[in-house]
Amino acid sequence: MADEMTASPPDAAAAFLKQWHKTTTSTVHVFQEEAGPYKKIELHDFKFLGKNFQSQTYVGTKNGARVAGTEHTGAGVCAEFRDILFKAQEFIFRSYAAEVRSKGETPSESGFTQWCNIGVVSGWQFRSRQHSKGAAIDLDPKTNPYVPTGKTSDPKGALGGEQHAALNGETLGDIRQACLGTYANAFRLVYGEKMAVDAMSHDIKDDTALAYEAMLKVHYAVVVYSQLAFLTTKDNRLDGSFGIGRPLGPETEPGSFLRTLKESGPLVKGKPDADLQKQFNTIRDDYENLRLGMVYGKLKAASPGHMNSGAIWEQATRDPCYGFLTIRKEIAVGLRAAGCRWGAMDFGAAQNGDMMHFDKKWAIEQIAHSDDPNADGLLYVQK
């Protein structure tokens, strides 16, 4: 990784981190889609960025029916990934300490927790890929979604983002391309300049801080741009609705688009379209385009088809007024410096954009595990 650190973690880290790094353990099965012998791993739960890991419960089934007494609950990450997170947490603490000391303040446990400002830390999950092995974490998934990525200069090039089930490739590509166009429109209006073609295109060789800063600028552009024409939903979730749109105007009407645009003058460095009705419509269209790239789970069309053919979207999406990035830079830098991949930039051009996700790409053989022959032939499923 371009900015992997070789220096040892500080040998005089804050005493409270030693308490945070005391773990509790639980043993869980590794997810698989069919019944048969299972692998089991030991999870380590501890305080990371001020939070303990979210727990999950799964249960054994046979012939589709739940089997009593087979319920398991676990939380945390595997021992190997735990050590990486310990190192990352010390790195992140360094950044926090440097910042507060430059202000003449003293680092503290509560201060560090507040500074990290993380609401949810999710590690092991009973589903496929790295989460199943406890080798991945998601940070505040609600506000750090999987968003489209790619270069605006290369419409035919690979674009990253969430894989939506039941959508043909053309539609998926169109959704991602439309999002990139929205980023560019938002950027131009908010910053008064053209967005760099690679603002949302980064890879494993890139410096974390620089990549983060580029994406953060786009995030803020999206937040401002969307909020000019829409109100922020309460829980960052749009259940198939179009969002809470502002009325166009007039300028004297509190909460209208024209009034908001006027009041937000210092935020808008670009020149809005002379025809403000047209500008208003563009933002509304862009908002709809963008939300389709910021889904919860898997996006489905009620009647499969092209996105521009009046398809009705079944699945809820996130609210573009929230943007897509609330993890602070120092956390992303620290995790990557400790050896993690960041889903935003390390998954490859066709899959980048998973803002919440940090992991280590390990096979189960690289993780301490045990075997469960599963003589009863149970199939474990998430409860």
Partner 1 sequence: MTLLRVTERTRGLDSWWRSSRPGPSAARSTQCEHGLRGTPPARTEGSTAGRAVAPLHGGAPSTWGAIYDLYQYNLAQELGENFDGLKKLQGLVEFLPTKQPYIGFGESAPVDGTHDDNAEEQADRRVEVLFFAQGQEPDIALLDEDPKVSELYHPDAFRRVNIEGFSDAKSHRRTLRIFLHDEYQRLMVNTEYELTVGTEVRRGTSSNKGDLVQKKVLPEATGTIRWGGQPALNAPTPGMQLSDMIDKLHAAPTFKYKHDLLLSPGRPAPAVEADRYLENLGYTQELEQNWEQFQLDYGMEVQAFPNNDVLSELRKTHRKGLEPPPLEDDGLADPPHEEFEDDGLFSSQLTVQLVDAGGEPVGGEDFEVRNANDEVIHTGTLDDAGTAIVLGLVGDEHFISFPNWDGSSWDIAKEPENG
Return residues touching partner 1 (CB under 8 A): 3, 5-8, 10-15, 18, 91, 93-95, 97-99, 101-103, 117, 119, 140, 142-143, 190-191, 216, 219-220, 223-224, 227-228, 232, 236, 260, 263-264, 266-267, 269, 322-323, 325-326, 328-329, 337
- Give the distance between the most distant pair of CA atoms in the chain: 73
Q: Which is nearer to partner 1, 328 or 357 (CB)?
A: 328
C-beta of 63: minimal distance to partner 1 in Å?
43
Shortest spacing between CB 110 and partner 1, in angstroms: 16
Give least dist CB 243 to partner 1, A. Answer: 14
In the DSSP assignment, the letter for residue 158 is -
**277-283-288 Cα angle (round to 5):** 130
In angstroms, give the least distance from the CB of 146 to partner 1.
16
Q: Which helix (H) or strand (E) holds 65?
A: strand 65-66
Using CB atoms within 10 A of its CB, is residue 382 exposed (0-12), middle (13-18) or buried (19+)? Answer: exposed
In the complex, what is the shortest distance from the CB of residue 19 to partner 1, in angstroms, rounded to a whole number?
10
**Coil, strand or helix at 224:** helix
Q: Degrees (nearest 5) of the Cα angle 175, 178, 180?
A: 115
| Measured distance CA(95)–CA(30) in Å, rounded | 35
Nearest to partner 1 of 173, 334 (CB atom): 334
Q: Report, in Å, the least distance between residue 246 CB and partner 1.
A: 11
CB of 108 to partner 1, least distance (A): 12
- Burial (CB < 10 A; 0-12, 13-18, 19+), residue 118, is middle
State which residue, 218 or 379, has the beta carbon closest to partner 1.
218
Provide the 3-class DSSP secondary structure of residue 171.
helix
CB-based burial label for 115 (10 Å; 0-12, 13-18, 19+): buried
Question: Before 250, cis peptide (omega within 30)?
Answer: yes
CB closer to partner 1, 7 vs 375: 7
DSSP state of 354: B
Q: Could you tell me the two tokens for 78?
A: 């595997």
Nearer to partner 1, 53 or 93 (CB): 93
Residue number with CB closer to partner 1 (47 or 328)? 328
**Nearer to partner 1 by C-beta: 41 or 186?**
186
